[in-house]
Structure 1
Amino acid sequence: MLQGPPERDTCRDVILPALAKVGWADELIRPEYPVTAMRVVSGSGVERELGAGRVDYVLEVVSGLPVAVVEAKRAYRSAADGVQQAVRYAEQLDVPIAYASNGKEIIERDLLAGTERVVDSFMTPAEAWSRYASAHGLDKDGAELLQQPFNRIKRTASGDVIEPRWYQTVAVHRVLSAIARGERRILLLMATGTGKTFTAMQLVQKLRAHARIVNPGRNHRVLYLADRDALVEQPRRKDFTVAFGADPLWRVAGGANRSREIYFATYQALAGGDDEGKLFRDYPSDFFDVVIVDECHRGSAAENSSWRQILEHFDSAVQVGLTATPKQGDTVDTFRYFGEPVFTYSLRQGIEDGFLAPYRVRRVLLSPDTEGWEPDPGQLDRFGREIPEGRYSTRDFERVVRLLMRTDLVASFLSRILRRDPTARMIIFCVDQQHADDMRRAMVNANPTLVAADPEWVVRIVGAEGEKVRLLEAFSDPERTSPVVATTSRLLSTGVDIEDLKYVVLFRPVGSAVEFKQIIGRGTRLYPDKGKASFEIVDFVGATSHFADPDFDGFPSWVVDNTEDDDPGAEDEDTGGDPTDPSPSTVADPAPPFTVTDPVGEDEVSPPDGAGHQRPEKLTVDDGHFFVVAEAVQVPDTSTGKLVLTEYGEYVAGRVRQLASGPHALADRWARQPSRQEVLAELKAADIDLSDLSPTGEDGVDPLDVLMQVAWNVPARTRAERVRRAREAHHVDMEARSETARAVLNALLDRYAVHGVDEITSPEVVRLPPISDLGSPRDIVSTLGGGVTLGSVINEVQEWIYSDKSVS
């Protein structure tokens, strides 16, 4: 048998002294450096940690600036066993030096030189820093820039400092290295929910600290630019104000103020007015040192955009573009303007590392979307207009014709989902403002009790809503309990952080892959304070076919665009879906003689008629018999390196087969409460909800039978059938017991048949009838005899219920 001290002893007794010997102070050695999130999931009282990816030691030249990694192995293991892992960590953390050591041997891999050798000692801090500076092309000034400290003022609710995650650290230093090399336009790609604005704040922190050293007599000025109020207000309030205080910050609105250091502005505020009166011209062209463009794929990415004037005016500043979804097209090309990204962190990486919430997709097929809808000959709409004959499909609904009963059907379906947790936040993306209002009203009528208790349980948040600012602020605040459900069109599709969002509902086609990714990103943030570790996408229109795009989780490569003069705004207009959409809900186009029109825009309303009333643009149908045709749940399979959806049943079956070698082995684990709780915790960690697997109309089926049926196709039996089999198999044993013992056993079996196993393992079971009718717990135990306890009887009943005979 192999012997030797544990790895932690090797670290403490050999590696740490060897590092100290060459000058690495304790504060420069980061043990157990996390490269995946540490999450604790709880399943019926059992807690386990997820995300154990940690580097044994990260060596920093200053706090927060890694330059080398050390992977330790036990003394009896070869140091070579840790080399590949050390190299992987070094690549991940963007450092040039990787070490592997078992305490007796040190192997050094120099990623910059491409060499590997056995060495007698570790590099000194000065040597490691020199290799890092060479790898990143840093001169003395650039080295000084990167060595500035991170901001450590922002804290969690418990008071802990919020440290930059590994990928945020790499992102900041990649951008700073590019600036130090003289690059003026820099692109940073980070998936929605990975903390782009926190990263931007830390970038500004280092730039300001360095500016005070090299130019102490001048303020270092930053412009944070976006195209929506929420995109500048949330970073200003949540990150920058916390980190720097309110004094150096200024929200641009109205006249120019040249006395501050960090400015927040929308394009609209800076570009309003005629050409001579545009506000941005009141600031000298060299006023800002850095311009940070959030969601840079929008607005200024277009060459002929009027907003591009702002970036051209401040051309002398370093311009940093932030986005999760860059665009490339005939007139919009994020890469052409900002260049290739200096760092990319994708949705798949974020989910695998545990920093983003995993998701599943509930695809729901409605009868009008599956079969199409045809009006009766001569049928009139609500306003007396004849409805043109033809078959109408998904892309026509709420654009050409309003099917209010279809909206009511969706409201009923969503209300059923929310019955599990009426406080779970949900966004419903609708075709336009009118559709969003119809959806809001349908949700009100489907949930009168909830709305009576909270009049703003469901609200509409759209551009024309007078209360949109107040409602959006309340909806995006996880500490508030209302509103719970928001209907919208496009206003909430990008740039709005709703950390506790549990459901993203797609009730309109999404033709743009960029917009689709932005919409999905609304749900990717984790919020453990409310138990949010995942979210669900409910798709009624086939929009999730975008997941099948092989580039969904990647980013466009550099391509040469054609020069056709297309509509520069076309990519932002939803034309009703991709005509190549492989979704099973696609049906034939409606026949002439009508024309499909674009929906009313987010901030537009229908023009009034001659009497001053709003003229209804769409055909409005109040009646109709619609129903749910089919429903399927899918989850992403990242094993292929892509976010490809797989059927939920297949996913669950694979996970269950990992927990046990067969149905008998699973039943054996299920029969004992501690091991059953372990199974439940592992299922919860894999985001498996047993309620989604229960056969329709069979509430009396044990979860074990559901899992065995999914994994091994074992016929599911009801709890009552399990009890009958248990009584038959143990009839002789029961007859040999005392009258009180038989009564206890029968009471436990009967209670299981009605309520399930959790009811008989609860400590309260002895205080509930019919067991409580037999006497006090002490009296009952005294009549059982032979040192038998109630606990042992309960364990015995579980063994009977889940014995091998119940599986055969």
Structure 2
Amino acid sequence: MSAPEFVARKHIDTQLSAAGWIVQSVNELNLAAGKGIAIRELRSEGGPADYVLFVDGKAIGVVEAKKTGETLSHVADQSARYTAAKNWIPQRWTDPLPFTYETTGVETNFRDQRDPDSRSRPVFAFHRPEHLLELVQQPDSLRTRLAALPSAHPLVTEPLRDCQISAITGLETSLAGNRPRALLQMATGSGKTFTAVTQAYRLIKHAGAKRILFLVDRGNLGRQTVNEFQQFTTPDDGRKFTDLYNVQMLGPAGIDPVCQVTVSTIQRLYSQLTNNPLDDEADEHSGYELDGTGGPSREPLPVSYNPAIPIETFDFIIVDECHRSIYNLWRQVLDYFDAFLIGLTATPSKATLGFFNRNLVTEYPHVQAVADGVNVGYDIYRIKTRISEGGTKLDAGFDYQKRDRLTREKRWAVQDEDETVAKTQLDRSVVVPDQIRTVIRAFREKLFTDLFPDRPARAESLGLDVPWVPKTLIFAKDDNHAEDIVTHVREEFGKGNDFCKKVTYKAGAKPEEIIKAFRTAPEFRIAVTVDMIATGTDIKPLECLLFLRDVRSQLYFEQMKGRGTRTIDPTDLATVTPDAGSKSRFVLVDAVGVTESDKTDSRPLERKPTVPFDKLLQQVALGVRDEDTLTSLANRLARLDQSLSDSDKAELQTLGGISLKQLTSNLLQATDPDHALDQFRAQHGPDSEPTESELGDLRALAVKTATEPLATNPAYRALLETKRRDREVTIDHLSGDEVLATGYDEEKARGLIENWKQFLVVNQDEITALQILYNRPNAKRHLVYEELKTLAEAVARPPYHIAPAEVWKAYEHLEKRKPTADPAKVLTNLITLVRHTVDPEHQPLAPFPELVEARYQQWLDQQGERFTDAQRHWLDIIKNTIALNGAFPTDEQEDYLEAWQNVDSKEGVPLAVARKAFGNEDPKPIIEELNEILVA
């Protein structure tokens, strides 16, 4: 045996032992020594097997060992040869032996030969003997059962939505094909969790899954998920999920082995794997925060084998909200388990798709959800103030209040010199109370004139003195900012503590209790949060989001917007907002330019979040020059630069000889592998190719230049740390603010309409509904329901992703029309929308049923006394059918009779009664006339 092979065998022996196997040589063979025995170099019919595995004295599998670095795919054939045990091992579980491993001690592959089209898969470690025994005693393998699941146990589709049916069907097809990872994209509010619970039930009941892990983004969402399992009614016998199967929220006590479903954050799961305690507050931080949107991202966390949590602990892992930290910070936690990975997300990124092997089994975007009435769309309303847009100025010689960030203790101090405060520093280093007050006041003043103009009349009709403030969520920059906002909201609205509350980690009461109150309590109208309910939290009555913080991550912003998209039954909405009517949209109020700022999904810079700032500076002074240290330091310096005043920046530049922006840029360029190549080609020509030595010299020079101001200037390092630790915030009571502009986002509306027009032009000869509306004469310019549905589905698909209801709203904003309550509710409104787009001067933008009703009444007036009351009753039915379906079909007799049968069945009246009402007169010519007049 060579030295590399000997080293590999030592690693493999250790790994087998950790998983509960007793490793023996042939000379030491004693199958009674324990549950699982691994015998080295036992000769088989195909040659000497590196290890033969025995459980309860019977052979169950083989392990083929190779030296570190050798590839393993070709070794599987060798392992399979050794599993023929009929003539050389009398005591065996099956023949051939079912399980094979190929390993180098670094990489390990596993195969269950009983699987259909069995193939090897990578595993983190060896399975325990008890697990292999459990597997071999089952009549078939999990993957065999998964292959049969779709056909053997058809999905009960009630009460699932179409998008949920598509998701489950697609996922089960993927699982049947033994694809290890699958991603479901489902719009926020479309029922991702209910879909996952339904799938979990089918996997446990019909596929024999033993344990499922359900990972959530934060602790309060875990409790929400457990509640979803508790409320789930099984489709076959009507019992509750938790009456049949145990569900636990993972806590300090660990994983309950009798629980079929374990719900946890990935932070808590990691703490269990590594035996490190977890702070309860850490369990409440979103992975989106760790992506650089509110907290740092980190290098992947190390994971080693934990015998208390073997790799076979879970058969399936469902990851709800797949943010980027899953793929860098936590991916080794997921890779640890020998389990299928199922991702749920409303906002997939390139990293998400890559991690799940681009196996997107269902796609249900927000625009399609809006078109289907599963989500509501949104309007953007902009509030611009002078200080929000341009910052402010602290004047020399005036007293300003200083507030400690941590203790909130206040003192007064005279401003030494004039200081310009950029808008990015607002509410961080400088707070201008009148800026917050002005935004809140503008929001209050425009609430019932611009944002929800129908509410005063609706409130009056219900006998209410004043309209109810719609449930509103305000996003703040940090806890102190949230505290200031709460104060101003209560003052500007003239309300008490119950009207507006903070929902942050420092809010006092349990967060889930505050969230529950916001969801259900009528008196609690406005919540202020930083990020606690920015993702996942289900608050259906929300009708307004007010952004007083900017967000740089596109995915995080989409998640935050998703809080407003959920639909709610009008009756349920009325219990908390009596004058709301129905929720057909939500309003995104942008007071900071969040809808206009550039968004990115680039990888965050922070690699060493646990290393304090002063220690990073010290490491650089000691000569540490690795990429993680330099990029992390650049990230800290960039954040510090955003929070400093101009005078602080000038002081630092004077001492260090360089601005913080330039220092940050130099550090990043020094770690950029392409920067050295660009420098070389700038010096030697665009086509020149440097040697590795030349590139190395350029990189070393860039690192030396970038770090020199820090490495050689102790006073500069000390001042940087002093500025970072400055805990005081200046309260600018002197500056007054004013509103510069308010109004809906017209640019968004115009862009949406242009995309809609482009769709119509491109597809006018391809889609039947558009062919009719564009090309047929008015007399035959009517549609049927299925043609309209096809049109709505076509425009919602890529590359347009347009919800017609959003186009309708865009026209209303630009044309200053009174808002329509819910244009998406009636599919035939598409007829009006297309006609208005083609001929805006002569085709009014009005709900199609209203136009039909007006034309119908005009037609009736022209008929005089022609029809009896019984005939009028059926004419009304025909009119309503046209209004909701586009036409009453008469082209074929079969369609004609079916239409009559349908309206009869809805009315509960026999067909003969309808015919009798018209006597000998065939109503078909009348129907044709109504189709022409009412739809024209």
TM score, norm. by length of structure 2: 0.45
2:369 pairs with one of 326, 350, 361? 350
Q: For residue 286 of structure 1, what is the aligned residue in structure 2?
A: 312
Q: For residue 264 of structure 2, what is the aligned residue in structure 1?
A: 265
- Separation of aligned partners in 2, 1:505 and 1:399: 19
Task: Say whether residues 1:295 and 2:321 are aligned partners.
Answer: yes
2:650 pairs with one of 585, 593, 600? 593
1:430: Cα distance to partner?
A: 0.8
Task: Say whether residues 1:407 and 2:436 are aligned partners.
Answer: yes
1:525: Cα distance to partner?
A: 0.5
CA contact (8 A) 2:213 2:316 kept: yes
Write the deviation string for residues 23-55 of structure 1: whole angstroms up to 9, x where unpaired.
xxxxxxxxxxxxxxxxxxxxxxxxxxxxxxxxx
1:165: Cα distance to partner?
A: 1.3
Q: For residue 684 of structure 1, what is the aligned residue in structure 2?
A: 821
2:346 pairs with one of 317, 321, 324? 324
- Separation of aligned partners in 2, 1:204 and 1:463: 32
CA contact (8 A) 1:461 1:471 kept: no
- Separation of aligned partners in 2, 1:541 and 1:473: 25
2:542 pairs with one of 501, 506, 511? 501
Write the deviation string for residues 741-788 of structure 1: whole angstroms up to 9, x where unpaired.
xxxxxxxxxxxxxxxxxxxxxxxxxxxxxxxxxxxxxxxxxxxxxxxx
Q: For residue 225 of structure 2, what is the aligned residue in structure 1?
A: 235
TM-aligned CA distance change 1:367 to 1:654, over 3 Å: closer
TM-aligned CA distance change 1:229 to 1:289, over 3 Å: same
1:425 pairs with one of 450, 471, 483? 471
1:173: Cα distance to partner?
A: 1.3
- AA in 2 matched with 1:463: Y
- Separation of aligned partners in 1, 2:361 and 2:346: 13
1:651 pairs with one of 791, 798, 811? 811
2:242 pairs with one of 224, 227, 245? 245
1:191: Cα distance to partner?
A: 2.1
Write the deviation string for residues 665-703 of structure 1: whole angstroms up to 9, x where unpaired.
xxxxxxxxxxxxxxx7x8223499xxxxxxxxxxxxxxx
CA contact (8 A) 2:473 2:528 kept: yes
Task: Say whether residues 1:481 and 2:522 are aligned partners.
Answer: yes
Q: For residue 457 of structure 1, what is the aligned residue in structure 2?
A: 499
- Separation of aligned partners in 2, 1:567 and 1:326: 30
1:187: Cα distance to partner?
A: 1.6
TM-aligned CA distance change 1:388 to 1:327, over 3 Å: farther
CA contact (8 A) 1:392 1:590 kept: no
CA contact (8 A) 1:226 1:294 kept: yes
Matches within 5 A, 1:205-216: 205-212=201-208
Query: Which stretch of the first structure deviates more once superposed, 264-273 or 385-394?
Result: 385-394
- Separation of aligned partners in 2, 1:322 and 1:570: 34
- AA in 1 matched with 2:728: E
1:652: Cα distance to partner?
A: 1.6
CA contact (8 A) 1:404 1:623 kept: no
Partner SS state of residue 313, structure 2: coil
Task: Say whether residues 1:364 and 2:364 are aligned partners.
Answer: no
1:339 pairs with one of 357, 364, 374? 357
Matches within 5 A, 1:531-570: 531-545=582-596
Q: For residue 889 of structure 2, what is the aligned residue in structure 1?
A: none
- AA in 1 matched with 2:488: A
Task: Say whether residues 1:312 and 2:449 are aligned partners.
Answer: no
TM-aligned CA distance change 1:165 to 1:263, over 3 Å: same
1:362: Cα distance to partner?
A: 0.3
Work out which of the two has the higher radius of gyration on C-alpha atoms and give 1 or 2.
2
**Which of the two has greater helix per residue?**
2
- Separation of aligned partners in 2, 1:274 and 1:288: 13
Task: Say whether residues 1:255 and 2:270 are aligned partners.
Answer: no
Task: Say whether residues 1:224 and 2:214 are aligned partners.
Answer: yes
CA contact (8 A) 1:146 1:176 kept: no
- Separation of aligned partners in 1, 2:262 and 2:814: 52
* RMSD of aligned alpha carbons: 4.3
Number of residue pairs aligned between Structure 1 and Structure 2 = 471
1:267: Cα distance to partner?
A: 2.0
- AA in 1 matched with 2:395: D
- Separation of aligned partners in 2, 1:624 and 1:208: 63
Query: Which stretch of the first structure deviates more once superposed, 528-537 or 514-523?
Result: 528-537
TM-aligned CA distance change 1:437 to 1:230, over 3 Å: same
TM-aligned CA distance change 1:484 to 1:650, over 3 Å: closer
TM-aligned CA distance change 1:396 to 1:654, over 3 Å: closer
Task: Say whether residues 1:148 and 2:153 are aligned partners.
Answer: yes
- Separation of aligned partners in 2, 1:211 and 1:258: 19
- Separation of aligned partners in 1, 2:322 and 2:636: 18
1:441 pairs with one of 484, 487, 497? 487
Q: Which has the higher contact order (CA 8 A, sep 6+)?
A: 1
1:376: Cα distance to partner?
A: 1.8
Write the deviation string for residues 57-112 of structure 1: whole angstroms up to 9, x where unpaired.
xxxxxxxxxxxxxxxxxxxxxxxxxxxxxxxxxxxxxxxxxxxxxxxxxxxxxxxx
- AA in 1 matched with 2:264: A
- Separation of aligned partners in 2, 1:574 and 1:413: 36
Q: For residue 76 of structure 1, what is the aligned residue in structure 2?
A: none
TM-aligned CA distance change 1:398 to 1:643, over 3 Å: farther
- Separation of aligned partners in 2, 1:656 and 1:371: 30
CA contact (8 A) 1:364 1:538 kept: yes
Partner SS state of residue 540, structure 2: coil
- Separation of aligned partners in 2, 1:426 and 1:442: 15
1:367: Cα distance to partner?
A: 0.9
CA contact (8 A) 2:435 2:737 kept: yes
Q: List gaps (5 residues or longer) in structure 2.
A: 1-142, 234-240, 279-305, 403-411, 449-454, 456-466, 574-581, 604-625, 653-658, 662-724, 760-799, 826-835, 843-936
- AA in 2 matched with 1:175: L
CA contact (8 A) 2:505 2:511 kept: no
Write the deviation string for residues 117-163 of structure 1: whole angstroms up to 9, x where unpaired.
xxxxxxxxxxxxxxxxxxxxx999524335535568xxxxxxxx6x2
1:410: Cα distance to partner?
A: 1.7
- AA in 2 matched with 1:265: S
- AA in 2 matched with 1:310: V
- AA in 1 matched with 2:203: L
1:526: Cα distance to partner?
A: 0.9
Q: For residue 623 of structure 1, what is the aligned residue in structure 2?
A: 734
- Separation of aligned partners in 2, 1:619 and 1:538: 27
Partner SS state of residue 207, structure 1: helix
Matches within 5 A, 1:52-63: none
Matches within 5 A, 1:605-624: 616-624=727-735
- AA in 2 matched with 1:483: F
- Separation of aligned partners in 2, 1:572 and 1:191: 33
- Separation of aligned partners in 1, 2:333 and 2:146: 29
1:327: Cα distance to partner?
A: 4.1
CA contact (8 A) 1:296 1:326 kept: yes
Partner SS state of residue 543, structure 1: coil
TM-aligned CA distance change 1:496 to 1:457, over 3 Å: same
1:647: Cα distance to partner?
A: 11
1:519: Cα distance to partner?
A: 0.8
- Separation of aligned partners in 2, 1:343 and 1:271: 29
Write the deviation string for residues 580-602 of structure 1: whole angstroms up to 9, x where unpaired.
xxxxxxxx99994378999xxxx
1:426: Cα distance to partner?
A: 0.6
Q: For residue 93 of structure 2, what is the aligned residue in structure 1?
A: none
Q: List gaps (5 residues or longer) in structure 1.
A: 1-137, 153-160, 213-218, 557-562, 580-587, 599-613, 658-679, 689-706, 714-808
Partner SS state of residue 683, structure 1: coil
CA contact (8 A) 2:391 2:426 kept: no
CA contact (8 A) 1:168 1:199 kept: yes
- AA in 2 matched with 1:313: Y
Write the deviation string for residues 527-580 of structure 1: whole angstroms up to 9, x where unpaired.
13222121000001111126x98x99xx99xxxxxx985999999999899x9x
Q: For residue 517 of structure 1, what is the aligned residue in structure 2?
A: 558
CA contact (8 A) 1:188 1:344 kept: yes
